[in-house]
Copies of this chain bind each other. A is one copy, B any other.
């Protein structure tokens, strides 16, 4: 019986977290998102605050690494930058929770980190900009303009982080097994389709 690893990439404000939680609950398997930070802190000895500050964020020293031609997870040539320390701790946490059994993991290049594991399912969630603005406005208490700015900034940040740590393109259909629009489908139907896709895969 093999494990099932459902990784969920997502546009900011598309409800990927909510969908992932529903899927994990229906399958009765653990869900990891921010929760990975605690695992990473415990296993690496780095502080949760430090890890949080680098969570899916390329920073100045990340940009420096990029300019200097340093690479992330792709080549295995690890830099000693703090960004890379944080990314490594998170990678180790992902491998560690995957060793424990089936799970749902949102973001953090989990699809790439677990690429050689049987039972991997790579999902990406999108949503129309209007729907994302509405969601982020409500959730974060922002006016629509500020919500849109945050969405654009966060998408750019996630895309950069993903590109740096993988050899793939964030949000390109070809990099995933299934991509779903939550604004078209709704959160419940998106979760239902993911469960339908997983039917017959042992957990």
- Closest residue of chain B to A192 (Cβ to Cβ) is B196
A124 at the interface (CB under 8 A from B): yes
Given contacts A193-B196, A196-B196, A197-B193, contact A176 B171 (CB under 8 A): no
Size category of the binding interface on chain A: 20 to 34
Q: Which of A124, A179, A197 has the most CB atoms of chain B within a 10 A radius of its CB?
A: A179
Q: Which listed residue, B126, B174, B176, B189, touches A174 by the CB 8 Å rule? A: B126
Query: A134 to nearest B CB, angstroms?
Result: 17
A177 at the interface (CB under 8 A from B): yes
A11 at the interface (CB under 8 A from B): yes
Q: Which listed residue, B177, B185, B193, touches A184 by the CB 8 Å rule? A: B177
A181 at the interface (CB under 8 A from B): yes
Contact with B along A166-179 (1 / 0, CB 8 A): 00000111101111
- A192–B192 Cα gap in the complex (Å)? 13
Which residues of B lie under 8 Å from residue A181 when comparing CB positions? 174, 176-178
- Closest residue of chain B to A181 (Cβ to Cβ) is B177
- Closest residue of chain B to A178 (Cβ to Cβ) is B180
A124-177 residues at the B interface, CB under 8 angstroms: 124, 126, 171-174, 176-177
Which residues of B lie under 8 Å from residue A193 when comparing CB positions? 178, 193, 196-197
8 tightest A-B contacts by CB?
A: A179-B179, A173-B179, A177-B184, A126-B174, A177-B181, A173-B173, A124-B173, A171-B173
A residues with a Cβ closer than 8 A to B are 11, 124, 126, 171-174, 176-181, 184-185, 189, 192-193, 196-197
Q: Contacts A177-B185, A178-B178, A196-B196 known; list 11 others, CB within 8 Å.
A: A124-B173, A126-B174, A172-B172, A172-B173, A177-B180, A177-B184, A178-B179, A185-B197, A192-B196, A193-B193, A193-B197
Q: 11 A-B contacts, Cβ less than 8 Å apart? A: A126-B173, A172-B172, A173-B173, A174-B181, A177-B180, A177-B184, A178-B179, A178-B185, A178-B193, A185-B197, A196-B196
